[in-house]
Structures are given as C-alpha cells and as structure tokens.
C-alpha cells in the first residue's frame, strides 16, 4: 500500500535541515513525500529531491491571532485535495494547527513530534501552564506523540497516555566526522594558525541561545583562545541579537558545517532552552569536546564529566570556568571528544529516529483500519 505522507513545520528551513532522514525513509518505503510549511528559500531544494511542497502563506513562528487564523483557514482548505494518509507535525504552532485541523478534516493518521516544549525553567509559571495546557489539548487529536527528550515526555506524558513514545533525535553521523584537510582550509580562511585553540558556538543570533554569555566568556578568555559564532540572525524574535559581540568572530549562516566543525577545538552551546540540540550532536560526531548548559534537552547529549561538561544557564562565570578547564587541559579535551563521539555513534543515528516514526504510523489503530480498507 502506497502512502501519502506529509511533514508539516512552521518554516521550510526545518523541513530541509531537520527532517532529511524522515523524507529519505518515505522514499525508501516507496511512499509519496509531501512538505507543508510557510514559503521560504528551501522549497526549490525540496522539489529537486522529489518532494511535493505545499506553502501556507500566513504561517510563521511569531504567534498572531489574525495570521494564525488565516493560516488555519488555508490549511483547512488545502488538506482535502492532498488526500493524505499520514500527517506528521513538528514545531509548536504547526503541531497545534496540524493536529487539530488534520483530525477535523479526516486525515487517517496524525503524528506529532515534540522537539522541545517552548519554555525554559526560568519562565513564568503562567507561561508554562498555558503551553502545557495547549499541548495537552492538541495531543488529544493525534494517534501518536513522539518526544525527543525524556524530560518533556515525563512532563507531558500524563496527557498523552500510551501513545507517548521517546524517539530521541539523530543526524547523519558520517557527514560530520572530522577531516584534517577541511580543518586546514577553514582555519586558513579565518586566519587561525594550527596552534590557536578555537572555541565555536552554533545557533541563531538570539539571547536565548546564550550568545551574550558566550561573548562574556570570550572576553574573559581572549588571551587563551579565539571564539567564533556561527548562525543566522532571527529578527522575528524579540530577543534577536543584532549588535557586534566583543571578542567574537561572527561567521553568520554557513552551509559547510562539517568543515566548520573540523576547524574547531571546542564546541559550546550555552542555551536557556533546547529540545535535543542538533548542533551538539553534530559536534559530538565531529569528535569535539562539548560544553552545554545544564538544561533539559541538552542533558540528553551525555553524562556530565563523561561525554560533556555542563555550565549553569545564564551564568557567564560558570561557562567561563568550564571552558577554561578544557582550554588548559588537552588530555581532558581528547577524552571528552572520544567519549562524545562514541555516544553519537551509539545514540544519534537519524535513521533510527525515522524508523521509529514509521513504527508509530503503522502501529496506530487508524492505520490498521486504513490498510484493511485498501485490501
């Protein structure tokens, strides 16, 4: 039985960068892949890979009653024509709209992946209650709820019951393995000799990624290492960081991340909130020592002192202390890098995550009824 499977996200960047293994699994199974998101620059790339792209004009990451209502109306109109068998939603807004409207429009199987509940532990209790309440309601419209981190599963599992499953997160491990030739090329491009210790962070230029704490650590340790930040601006966000970062070389958006990781000596992601940080998985696959903040999501990467070092969130002194320890101890850098790589090989294979998605589709009662109806 050939299935028509759609993945829905808020922006098409997520479709291209985060769901490659999911779309590969659809093709491998001989099914029809469909991508639903707001318009963006990745639609053409998805089309070239044989993926049908459906754009919803008013869908955006920023919450807006008027625009979100318009996006919901457009989704309501287009779903019947797509004749979907499976609608798999990702990201908070797409997850809410897709699950509810998809069920109301009669899509046989609806699955949602929680990539991370959109609040940090320091957020106001009211914000947490509202988000958890909305997610709990939306989960009643799906056949399966897949969680990328165990702490979100524990927090929301009560609302999902037996249809809640931990799936983790994954990447293409082989793509990010370190390469000496790429290391030499990128370091030459950036003006670093081979003796310089280069510390890199990857993420959107928003305060939530801990970019200001990163900059403070760069100032504190400027005599010991060089610091770079890789990632695009995100002006849709209220906490966008557009000013220059003292002591940090800003590289902007890069499409050659395997080469960038090869050029680094230490990776750091000082976020306030993460679902299951992809960049940290990539850094582990590139055999880099990793420093993260001690938050849910990031704790999925590994054990403190074994595969990763943790710093306190929103605390530049704690971050500086962890980085100083690595900068001054090459043996520790090597030990953490190797154990992080082995953790990546064992636990971060994206093909395993995609396989779990298909298991969720086919184990649902509605899928079984769909299969019986097509015999």
Are residues 334 and 357 located together in one domain of the fold? Answer: no
| Rounded CA separation 216/210 (Å) | 10
- Average pLDDT of every residue of the chain: 93
* pLDDT digits 0-9 by tens, 266-303: 999 999 999 899 999 999 999 999 999 999 999 999 99
Are residues 178 and 73 located together in one domain of the fold? Answer: no
Token readout for 113 is 């992946």
- Residue-number span of the structural domain to which 130 is assigned: 4-170+349-373
Are residues 158 and 214 located together in one domain of the fold? Answer: no
Are residues 44 and 27 located together in one domain of the fold? Answer: yes
Chain-centre distance of CA 335, in angstroms?
26
Q: Supply φ then ψ for residue 166, to 5 degrees.
A: -85, 125
* pLDDT digits 0-9 by tens, 138-151: 999 999 999 999 99
**Number of structural domains the chain divides into:** 2
Are residues 199 and 239 located together in one domain of the fold? Answer: yes
Are residues 214 and 238 located together in one domain of the fold? Answer: yes
In 3-state terms, what secondary structure has residue 236? coil
Are residues 224 and 279 located together in one domain of the fold? Answer: yes
| Number of C-beta neighbours around residue 57 at 10 A | 11
Q: Which pTM value belongs to this model?
A: 0.88
Are residues 182 and 321 located together in one domain of the fold? Answer: yes
Measuring CA to CA, how many Å separate 134 from each of 71, 118, 189, 262, 299? 18, 12, 47, 41, 25
Count of alpha carbons within 13 angstroms of residue 274, beta-carbon side: 27
* pLDDT digits 0-9 by tens, 31-55: 999 999 999 888 888 888 899 999 9
Instruction: Give the CATH number of the domain where residue 104 resides.
Output: 3.40.50.2000
Are residues 111 and 96 located together in one domain of the fold? Answer: yes
Contacts of 255 (CB under 8 A, 6+ apart): none
| Rounded CA separation 40/43 (Å) | 6
Better-predicted residue by pLDDT, 230 or 11:
230
């Amino acid at each position: 039985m050939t299935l028509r499977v759609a993945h829905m996200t808020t922006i098409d960047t997520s479709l291209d960068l985060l769901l490659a293994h999911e779309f590969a699994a659809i093709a491998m199974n001989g099914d029809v892949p469909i991508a639903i998101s707001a318009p963006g620059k990745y639609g053409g790339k998805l089309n070239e890979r044989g993926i049908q792209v459906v754009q919803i004009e008013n869908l955006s990451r920023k919450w807006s009653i008027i625009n979100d209502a318009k996006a919901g109306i457009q989704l309501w109109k287009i779903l019947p024509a797509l004749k979907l068998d499976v609608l798999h939603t990702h990201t908070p807004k797409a997850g809410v709209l897709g699950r509810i409207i998809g069920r109301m429009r009669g899509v046989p199987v609806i699955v949602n992946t929680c990539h991370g509940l959109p609040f940090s532990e320091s957020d106001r209790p009211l914000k947490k209650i509202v988000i958890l309440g909305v997610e709990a309601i939306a989960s009643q419209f799906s056949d399966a709820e897949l969680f990328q981190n165990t702490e979100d599963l524990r927090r929301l599992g009560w609302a999902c019951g037996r249809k809640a499953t931990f799936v983790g997160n994954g990447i293409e491990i082989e793509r990010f393995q370190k390469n000496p030739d790429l290391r030499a090329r990128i370091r030459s491009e950036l003006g670093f000799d081979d003796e310089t210790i280069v510390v890199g962070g990857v993420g959107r230029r928003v305060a939530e990624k801990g970019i200001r704490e990163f900059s403070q650590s760069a100032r504190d340790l400027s005599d010991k290492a060089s610091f770079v930040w890789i990632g695009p601006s995100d002006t849709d966000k209220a906490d966008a960081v557009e000013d220059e970062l003292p002591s940090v070389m800003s590289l902007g958006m890069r499409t050659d991340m395997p080469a960038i990781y090869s050029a680094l000596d230490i990776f750091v992601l000082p976020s306030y909130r993460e679902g299951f940080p992809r960049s940290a998985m990539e850094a582990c696959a590139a055999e880099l020592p990793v420093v993260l903040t001690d938050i849910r999501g990031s704790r999925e990467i590994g054990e403190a002192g074994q595969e990763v070092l943790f710093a306190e969130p929103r605390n530049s002194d704690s971050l500086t202390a962890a980085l100083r320890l690595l900068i001054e101890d090459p043996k520790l850098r090597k030990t953490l890098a190797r154990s992080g790589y082995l953790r990546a090989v064992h636990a971060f294979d994206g093909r395993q995550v995609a396989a779990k998605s298909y298991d969720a589709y086919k184990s649902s009662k509605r899928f079984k009824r769909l299969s019986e109806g097509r015999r």
